[in-house]
Chains A and B, each alone.
Chain A
Amino acid sequence: MVKAKRELYRVEGMSKVFADRYVFNDISFSIYDGEIFGLIGGSGSGKTTFLNLLVGFIKPDKGKILFQDMHLLDSDKAEAFISIYKRRDQLKPLYGFATQNPSFYPNLTVKENLLYFASLYDISNTSAKANAESILELVDLTQAQHKLARQLSGGMQRRLDIACALIHDPKILILDEPTSDLDPVLSNKIWNLIRVINQQGTTIIIASHDLGELENICTRVAIIKEGKLAAIGKPGELKAKTVSQRIFIKLEPGNYKTISAELKKLGKTITQKIIATQITTEGLYIHTKTPEEIMPSLLEIIKAQNEKLLNVEFIKPNLTHVFAEITKGHNPEPITDEKKKHKKKHHNHKKRHKK
């Protein structure tokens, strides 16, 4: 990952209302040059709307979305911010946008698509061809460059879409759910591609449900909840700030209430480190920031209570947990591996149905 440099976007008290409801309410944050910025939110939380606000497709009802003046991007001059909405057309060449649904002409070949979009960015033929070749190589579509776009597989189409977004060598690449409807193998390819693109100096802003990958790839993430910016920061920081680690134990006969009570009887040095205990039908969860310190005492209690330890797990928090914690009471529906499988199944079913 390229280290973030300077402020590229500045969102100041931005609010957006749709149908008398705040989609965003007084949001303020910044996106830095060269970073991979992840945007996380529940279904319908307004992630796509936010991306469209960033490129000036939609005007905020309140506040500002500012962009550091393009002429100053590669210099060390003082900050000079301009309004995105007012300079929308001028800023267009600066970013490439790949939406959830690939956007290209199905009846043009891969290369024709790239060259056509390059021409719309006023790139000369020679440069366009050179760009196309390098991008085709980057997205691994060189072999398929003469194929009609509609004949490509889902993963290839997604890559072509990203290639189209990159054809004019944008400073910022905005990706909306880049791996939706893709199987894990294709998703991995896309994530790797994103990494490579970022390594070439392109700032990437991603909205995705794939929190696991976002955690791995993003420099920073922002979590949107009910129109508010619930959290923003590096994934590690958010995890540390928001959720604890957990110990999960499964016992037999499983008198978890006694175990929980015994834990509370331990000295302050231990009990202070236990954040909470949670009894479920599966077993007992012990929330703590220092599981290694609690574990010996816990094992002693288990032994003393004549319980048989069937399973023990140390659960480290991830972005999904952070998201779940932050959006508690909401239904964030983050994508888990289980859901991915289900989604893929559903996708295949839809495909069959369409046929």
Chain B
Amino acid sequence: MKLLKIIAKNFKILMRSKASAFVVIVGPLLIIGLISLALSNTQEYSLTIGVISHGGDFSNQFVSELKEAGYSVINYDNMDKCVQDVKTQMANICVGLPENFKVEDGKTNNIDFYVDQSRVNIVETVVSSVSNTLGGQSDEIALSLTQKLLDSLNYASEELNKEQVAVDAIKEKTANIADSSQTIEERAKNSDLSGTTNKFTEADTALDNVDLSADSLSNGTTDLLKDLKILLNTLDNDPNYQSSSKVGKVQDGYDTVDTLTTEETGSIKNNSQEVKEILNDAKTAVSAASDDLSVINNRASEVNNDITDVKNQAEIIDNSIGSVQNNINSLEITSASSIVSPFSIAINPISSNTNRSTFMFPYFLMLVVLFVGIMLASTLVVMEKKSKAAFRTFMTPTNPVFYIVGRYITNLIVVSGQLLIILLVAVNYLDIPFRENFPTTLLILFLSVSFFLFLGALIGHVFRKQEGTTIASVSIGSLFLFLSNVVLPVESYPTIIRKIIGANPYMLSSELIKQSMLFNIKISALKGGIFLLLIYLIVAIVLVFVAQKLSYARLFNSFGNKKVLLRPHIHTDNSFITDKGLTLKSKVDLYKALWQISDEEYRLYAKELCLWVKDTFKDRKLAQMMKKSTSKDMAIKSLEMAVGVDEVEKKKNPKKKLFSKKG
């Protein structure tokens, strides 16, 4: 029970304190609302892409693709301008398409991405998102190229299928040819014409010999005959030598011719016989060879036919191959790398500083400025307001500007000291190029610090207590932080909210510092943001002046009226005592008293009596009715109506038994 009471008390305290009620109820709702807003965005990240395109179908196709994917596309003439816009957040990414952008064998198509690496929570998304879109395009191209390749392969396959018959026929024919060749080979082996050749040679030799012999014979015979003829002719003509030795000589010649003829004729006969035998052998051999040749001839004819067929089939195949070759040759892209990846993407930072901590530094720096500035300034104001010395300070003839400026300079010195330390560390250990654009960075830092200091001062003036100020400072700081690029990328919000968030002083100052410090962007390019920051500062200063005036007025009033007793006739025991000493403790007493006092007296007590009735009897209705009563009589009637009075009794004795219903 006691525990419940304690819990109930705690809830009452929490809900009755504006600051804690804000934290308990509004804070979470606000955060949830913002998260819902961010996450309920039906659109994808609303990204702006800068494209450097050199024209051409491929490039145009890419740009169209990006537009169709929902990106805002800005066309740039050169990369520098685009990168500059990425630095100033005009674009999220720069996409540099290559010149003469088309897929060719041996050609490397590099698409350059330039991204702001400091946008750690979105850079991957941006790159991945744009890469996916371009990758989709790349896939389409790869798909198309592969399809062409596959079509060629299919065509080749179909052609080969078609030519399979021809190949089978060739195979069959080839088998036949092989068979025929084997037969021819065998026959050829069997047809040994070497013997025949020898025989013919021998026959030739023999015949030569015969020829020689015949020639010798012929020559001898011819000569002999010639001589004999001559002799005979002589003998015939000379009778003297008719029985002469000369005749014997003729006889002897004759005999010689005869012998020679016989011998030579025998020789010729023998040789002829040999020739006959040889010729017979040759005839046999030639006959066999003739048979073989006949077979060979047949086979050769078959082979010839087969070869013709094979030639025809080969012609067909050759044509098919030519067709397939033409088809393959018609493929523009045959490089595997070109097909698989028609182009490559190179991701480049927009600044030479690639260290993540370097990129995050401006956000961290401004985070320090944001929270330290707001907390410090608000705390100092509340300390001053709640200080025991507040009254005395305000009593002095000091222009409020001095307090505002004094607090501002104090805070500025503190924050500057902190920033100096941070910057020294950053310059030395993080290689932050702080010096490069020093005047601009310093100006932005000054404006930012000043704005947050004045904002803190404003919070300090608006809230009365330290706790409220602290909670408000942390809440506002967190809100600024939440509605910036640090937690959720601003691109995740709907466009309208995004525009509003873009004006978030924390985001604005962080971006300006980043652009100035890291990207070395000159003041002329940042003048819009700086001008907005300046406006914020001026507004904050004006509000601080107004708030301080109101705050002082409130403080003066608190000095003046906090102890004024507004119910001087109501005493601690809840009795109401009139100046004449009439003590009222109940509604009956009130009723009696109303009959007794004058109208003038009633008017003196009227408002206090209403409060008394409301607080003592918790009778709001009666209190309201009495409040509306402009005279004593009206108040009496109100009382009678509210609590009910017996009219008869009232007439008989207005001071007795008045209330018959209630009270």
Contact = CB atoms under 8 A, between A and B. Distances in A.
Contacts of A58: 556-557, 560-561
Given A21-B566, A105-B387, A90 B561 contact: no
Contact of B559 (A99, A113, A164, A331): A99
B570 to A, nearest CB: 10
B561 A18 contact: yes
Nearest to A43: B565
A23 B564 contact: yes
Interface in A75-117: 89-90, 92-93, 96-97, 99, 101-106, 113, 117
A234 to B, nearest CB: 26
B607 A20 contact: yes
B396 A103 contact: no
A261 interface: no
Contacts of B581: 329
A89 B560 contact: no
Nearest to B387: A105
A92 B568 contact: no
Interface of B: 387-393, 395-398, 556-557, 559-566, 568, 571, 577-581, 607-608
A330 B568 contact: yes
Given A49-B560, A89-B397, A329 B578 contact: yes
B608 A21 contact: yes
A57 B556 contact: yes
Contacts of A49: 560-561, 563-564
B559 A48 contact: yes
B607 A21 contact: yes
B560 A103 contact: no
B388 A93 contact: no
Contact of A226 (B388, B560, B568, B571): B568
Interface of A: 18-21, 23, 42-46, 48-49, 52-53, 55, 57-58, 89-90, 92-93, 96-97, 99, 101-106, 113, 117, 120-122, 161, 164-165, 168, 226, 329-331
B578 A52 contact: no
Contacts of B608: 21
Nearest to B395: A97
Contact of A44 (B398, B559, B564): B564
Nearest to B571: A331
Contacts of B561: 18, 23, 49, 58
A103 B556 contact: no
B401 to A, nearest CB: 13
A48 B563 contact: yes
Contacts of B580: 329
A245 to B, nearest CB: 24
B388 A103 contact: yes
A102 to B, nearest CB: 6
B559 A57 contact: yes
A165 B392 contact: yes
Contacts of A45: 564-565, 568
Contacts of B568: 42, 44-45, 226, 330
Given A19-B566, A44-B568, A329-B579, A92 B559 contact: no
B89 to A, nearest CB: 46
Contacts of A226: 568, 579
A152 to B, nearest CB: 12
A113 B396 CA distance: 13
A44 B563 contact: yes
Nearest to A99: B391
Contacts of B391: 97, 99, 101, 103
Contacts of B562: 48
Contacts of A23: 561, 564
B397 to A, nearest CB: 4
B395 A18 contact: no
A122 B581 CA distance: 54
Contacts of B393: 103, 117, 120
B397 A164 contact: no
